[in-house]
Each structure stands twice: as C-alpha cells, then as structure tokens.
Structure 1
C-alpha cells in the first residue's frame, strides 16, 4: 500500500493539520492501492499564505528566470516519465502504453509549447502606432487556485501549473482525490527543479472541502478549474463573493459529422477516438452524425471497430481500453446504456455489464448505438464512457442543427473530402474547437469551449494570457 499523506507547502513536505486519511482505489481491482490525506481549512490557509508570501518576488522575477525554471521542470519530467506513467495507470486505470504515450506525453507536449510561447510572449509592448508612450503590460494575476480532474491528470496539471509559473503567479494545486499520485510525483519534480518556496503548493482534498476553501479564500485572486459543468457552476457561485477571476474547462458532447465523401478511415477513426481513455475525455466525439447515403456502411464499420476493441488490465501492454475510474462512474455509464436501450436506440454492439472475460474491476463493454434521435438521453448527456451514438442526416443544414442542439460546445469534428464544405462547417459549428479529417490541433493552439463547456483557453500563448492581468500605461519614457 502506497502512503502519501503529506502535502507540499512552502517548499517542504508537511503533515496535515488534522489526520483525514482517504483511500485511493485501483479501478482494475476495486481494491485500495494508496492512502492520502484530505486537507482541512488550516492546510489550505497555510498553502495560500505561503503562495501569498512568495508572490512579490516571483511576480517581479525576470521572465527569463521563470522560463529557465520551466526548462528544468521539463528535463526532470522527461527523466521520470516511467514513474509518471505507472502512477497514472494505477490511480485511474489508463492502460500502461496509453499512460506512457498519451497521458505522460501530454505533459511533455504542453510544457514544450509553453516554453516556446513564453520566449515570444509580449510581456510589455507598445499599444500601437500613433500612440507614443502608451504601453500594455501583462502581469501575474496573483495567487491562483488550480483544481484538476482525474481523467487526464498530467494533461490538466501542466496546462495550469506551467503557464501560471511562467506568468509569475504563485499557486495552490488541488488535484482530484481520485488520481492524486501523479500530482504528488509532479510536486517532487517541481521541488527538484528548485522553484522558490511558496511558488507551488499542493494540498489534496475533495471539492466540498479544499475546492470550496480555495474558491472562497480572500487571498486567492483566480480559480482555474477543469471538471464537470455542475461543479463549475458551484465554483463560480462560491468565487463570486470575492470577485475572483474564474476560468472553467468543463464537459462536452462532441458531434462528429461524417459525409459520404469522407476518407475510408473516417468512421473507424471516430470510434477509436470516442473509446480512447475508456471514453473518459470531455472532447470525445460521442455523437456520430452520418450522411444517409453512407449510413448503413458506417454503422457496420462502427460495429466491427467496437468488436475489435479489446478491454484488458491497465497493467497489460498493448492497444486496449482499461476500466473507468470508479464505481459511481461505472454505475452511471451502465444506467445510461440501459436508458439508450429503453428509449429505442438500436444496440449494435456491447451493452450493459462487464466484458465476458472480466468479472472484477470497473470495466465497461465498448458500446455502439445506431438509429438514435436527437431527443434521446444518450444523445444529450455526457456519458464519459466508451459509448457511441450514431444517427443519419439528410442535409448539411440538418447536421449543423443537430450538432449545435446541445448546451455544450467544446469540440466538434468534420469528415469530408470537400474543402469548401469543411470551411463552412468549421465556422457554423458552435464550439471552441473544430477538428477535421483527423488533423490534430496545431502545437500551442488553445483548448477550450463555449456555453456549458466553459470558456477557458488553455495552451500556448492563450494559456499564459489566462494567468495575466492587462495593465494600460501612458507616458512611458521612450
């Protein structure tokens, strides 16, 4: 049993003020794999106090010093990659190959992009021609609270911690209590990198405890949160009294529009993307809308792809999906699959229950529904499991209408060989991101949505801007 009950505050590992042990459950075995502590108000206050004390010096530090610190973090993070992958695989069930390549790899990718963006960032720059002496400065917001989810631990931690460091902020990180081991290891990496005491602090806890304490703390200037839309609303309300900046990256219900002229791999690619990380991604393309002339073939390809999707232990190497994170998530997914059957969707593959070869662990059968209609629950609720819903469409306008008929607006997808159509749809779809023909977003591109998906913009230059206040200056001496 791993025991990690200390918090990282003011450059030191410290015991909690009050012992509140919490068991981390291995989703593959349903057994405890680690013990951490949940913080109390005194722990949160200590961490915020350390961040507040460290702020003036770190905010005033030359950007080159902050960039150098992140470059040291990048080197140590890369060196401890196998440890990080193993921690993520254990705590939230990511298959080890996925943990190495995608989960750990996301941190490498984001850190590198932030370093590149910071080197070109306009910390102080002229307002523009014809305005002599008018300058714009980007300055650290202050002490920030960072609240991250369990599903892509290092993806979200690096998208928050690294730009906050580069902007000159000091911070308190509250990782998910479901997947804290990777963040505790990340704290070790930052400690080894030699950040000044108090710049980075970590207190484990749950949303009702440390999450609320950070959201309401008078010395915290900003909350950056990734998680459910329900929790995002609660954080916004809690933070309102102290007029904090709140940035939210929330849920999604992405539509994948597949036209008859799409490439041969479009459908299989969409199914695999939906099932990646056991479907536990806010940007998963969970609604597949297919042009009617290509519909029957698409359903068969989706069925075949699901049939070929292996479900196995996260400790096993290879391309497969693992369990979902915990019992409540497993039960929620089971209930939504049953709801899809009850509401008349055609079950093409999968269905309720565990895969036949697995009788323990929170494993979900890869599931495909066809003949769905826009009013069905599975077409509207974020399932957060390996469940795909497919429906036909007859026109481009209908596809746009169905895709946009959701309060979410994170990522939508388009598969078509017609460039003009792709460009039209990219502008017509109501979302913060549109990915087309399997092309990933560019390095340093912002990640974020609209509507109930929140309006954060994380990554690259935009990610650094999130942690900056803009100051207007006049009379600057030339």
Structure 2
C-alpha cells in the first residue's frame, strides 16, 4: 500500500489540517493500491496564501529563468518516465504499453511545446497604430482542476503554461487517480520550483474544488472534466468574476463517406473510439456512415470489435483495460441497457463483463447500429468503449446530424475527396476536426464549442489563456 497523505504546499510536503483518508483502487483488480487524504477549504486557504506570497517574485522572473525551470522539469520527467507509466497503470488501469506509448509521453509533449511557445512569445509589442505598448502579464494565482482519464496530459497542459506565463498555482488532481499528480509534484520539487509557485491539495469537488473556484485569492480557474462539473465551477467563480477556462465533455461525430477506403476508415474509427477504453472526451463515438456503404460498414465494425482484445493492464500488448471505477462501470452498463431498450441493433459486445474478467471494471467493446440521433446513446457522453452507428443519405444531412448535439469538442471526417474534406470540415461546429486519421499535435489548439467548454489549451494558445493584456499609453 502506497501512503501519500501529504499535500505539497509552499515548497514542502505537509500534513492535511484535518486527516480524511481515501483509498485509491486499482480498477483492474478492485484492490487498494494507495491511500491519500482529502483536503478541506482550510487546506486551500493555506495553499492560496503560499501562491499569493510567491506571485510577486515569480511573476517578475525573466523568460530565461522560466525556460530553465521547464528544461529541468523535462529532463527529470524523461528520466522518471517509467515511474509515471506505473502510476498511471495503477490509478486508472491503463495498459502498461498504452501508458508508456501514449499517456506518459503526453506530459513530455506539453512541456516541450510550452517551452517552445515561451521562447517565441512576444510579451511586449507596440499597438497597431503605434503610441502605446501592449504587454502580456501573468493573470495571477490559478486554480487547476484536472480529471482522471488522461491524468498527466491535463496536468502538464495546465501547469506548464501557468509556470511559463509567470503565474503561481494550486492544483487539485482527480482524487480517484492522484498518483501521477503526486509524482509530478516530486519532479517539480526536484527541479527547484520556487516555494509557493506550485501547490497541490488533494480533495473532491465539493470539499476542495468548490473552495478553489469560489476563493477570492484565486484569479483564474482552469478546469477539465464533465460539463455538469464545469457549470458548477463557473457558478462558484461568478461571485469573484474570475476568468474560467473549461474543457468539458463531447459526443464527437465521425463522418464516413462512400468514397473513403472503408476498411481503413473503420479500423481507425473503432480504434479511436475504444482507445483508452473509450475514456476520452474527444473520442469519435458517433459513427455517421453514408447509406450506400452502411451495411458493409456495420459488418466490418462487428468484425473489428470482436477482434478488439480486453486484457490485464499489467501485461504488455495491444489491448484495452478496465474503466476507472465501479461507478463508471455501472453508468456504462445503464447506457448499454438503454440502447437495447430503445431499439438499437446490438452488433458487438453488450451488457456485462467480457468472458474471463469477473474481477475488475472491464466492459465489452460494444457497437450499436441503426441508431437515430435522438436516442439517448447518441445524445449522451457514455465515456466507455461504446460506438453508435447512424446512416445518412447526403452530405448536408451528415453535417446537420453531426452538428445536432449540445457538444462541440471534436469531429472526424473520412473521405477520398480533398475538396469535400475542406468543405465539410469548415461546416462542422467543433473545436478540432481530424481528416482521414490525422492526429493532433501538442502545439495545435485544443478546446470546444458549445457545452464542450471555452478557452484553448496546448502550446502558444494554452500560454495565452494564463496571460492578461495591458495597454500602456502615453
């Protein structure tokens, strides 16, 4: 059992003001792997006070000083990457090869992209007509709340630009997947991050998250998580009129036209949907297929889903692991049952656990066909390995159906016609559009339209989220 009850405040590991133990469960074994303590508003007050005290000095550091810190963090992160792989495997059940090849490298990617953005950013420039100086300055003390599904990805995507901007911060990682965050705090400490610049308080949303978002000493909240929780953060932050940046849920459409290479498109589509056991906010979970190739696509999807292996995260190989918790497992089962009840055709998977996995929160990779865009499984974010397939007749119908959602985080498009790719991608109401299996880069903006959030992360765009703009005239 790993004991990690302390918080990182003002450059040192400290005991919680009121101990409140929480057991961290390995979702593959359903067994305890660690114990942390949940913080309170009093712990938040202590962390905010440390961040406020450190801000005057850190905000005045040079670009070179901040870049040097990021360089040291990158070197330590790469040296200790094996520890990060293991932490992510234990806390969220990510298969060890997936953790090593996808989850952990995301941290390096964000740190390096932020370092590049910092070195290239113009913190001062003349106004367009001259006569004034435009100056970017750090916004202040930042509250960072990160999720469990891509833990170090979202931590690095917030901490790195906050550091680069000259902000100080308080981080609340997910309480059910806190090990990667605690390890990252060790790395920042080893890198010589000045006391009070980075602080970490474990806790849940009602106890620590709400205290952060409503705290008068916090100047900005950056939150990644569910739309429901994002609304709560925004409401709590309204009293102090602080900036709020949100990256929330999604129900991303994936348009497959008849002129695409069907097998390539389907293998990409199912692989992307089932990757990370479906626990990605931008996963392409609504597969819209042109009617003339729809039945062929359904048959292919059934075959590919049946080939998708579920496996023990501790074992090497290309397989999907469990979902994060018993609560998530039950929610996903409810969605699957609802899809069946609503008349969708079950092509693969279905209720219950895969054969041989009585222990652990494992879900069958599931495909539904003959779904309508009005069904619950097409409207709601399931956050598990569940794909819904919907036919369309025309390009305009596909675009309208793709945009008929409260979300707008990402969209996907598979076509053999470059002109159609340009035309359709411009009409899709989403923050990111991926054409023919393209992958995002760490310096491309990430964020959503509508109820998928506001603001943009990654690279220079993430850096700008943590900066205020001042005009000096005269």
Q: How many angstroms does 1:417 deviate by?
A: 1.0
What's the CA shift for 1:133?
2.9
Q: Alignment partner of 2:208: what SS?
A: helix
1:396 matched residue in structure 2: 395
Question: Structure 2-normalised TM-score?
Answer: 0.99
Greater mean deviation of Cα atoms: 131-140 or 360-369:
131-140
SS across alignment from 2:412 = strand
Residue 199 (structure 1) aligned with residue 192 (structure 2): no
Q: Which residue of 1 aligns with 2:315?
A: 316
Equivalent runs, 1:269-418 vs 2, <5 Å? 269-418=268-417
Moved over 3 A (4+): none
How many residues are treated as equivalent by the alignment? 473
What's the counterpart of residue 223 of structure 1?
221
Residues 132 and 456 of structure 1, relative CA distance in 2, 3 Å threshold? closer
Q: Any idea what SS the aligned residue of 1:60 has?
A: coil
Paired with 1:261 and 1:408, the residues of 2 have a C-alpha distance of: 27
SS at the partner of 2:398?
helix
- Contiguous gaps of at least 5 residues in structure 1: none
Report the Cα distance in structure 2 between the residues aligned to 1:392 and 1:357, rounded to whole angstroms.
34
Unaligned runs of 5+ in 2: none
TM-superposition CA deviations, 1:18-71 (whole Å, max 9, x none): 110001111011121110000112211110000000001100100111111011
* C-alpha separation in 1, matches of 2:247 and 2:130: 38
* Distance in structure 1 (CA, Å) of the matches to 2:59 and 2:471: 17
C-alpha distance in 2 between matches for 1:412 and 1:193? 38
2:169 to 171, 180, 189: 171
Q: Mapping of 1:11-410 within 5 angstroms?
A: 11-128=11-128, 131-263=129-261, 264-410=263-409
Question: Root-mean-square deviation (CA), in Å?
Answer: 0.8
Structure 1 residue 357, shift from structure 2 partner? 1.3
Partner SS for 2:454:
coil
CA distance in 2, matches of 1:449, 1:97: 29
1:98 deviation in Å? 0.6
Alpha-carbon distance, 1:375 to partner = 1.0
The Cα offsets for residues 138-176 of structure 1, whole Å up to 9 and x where unpaired, read as 100000000000000011000000000000000000000
Inter-partner Cα distance in structure 2 for 1:443 and 1:383: 26
- The TM-score, its normalising length taken from structure 1, stands at 0.98
What is the alpha-carbon distance in structure 1 between the residues aligned to residue 23 and residue 424 of structure 2? Answer: 47
User: What's 1:450 paired with?
Assistant: 449
SS at match of 1:189: helix
Aligned partners of 1:386, 1:184: CA distance in 2, in Å?
28
Following the alignment from structure 1 to structure 2, what is the Cα–Cα distance between the partners of residues 178 and 45?
23
The whole-number CA distance in structure 2 between the counterparts of 1:44 and 1:92 is 25
- Please list the CA deviations of residues 123-150 of structure 1 after superposition, one character each: whole Å capped at 9, or x if unmatched: 111122xx23322111000000000000
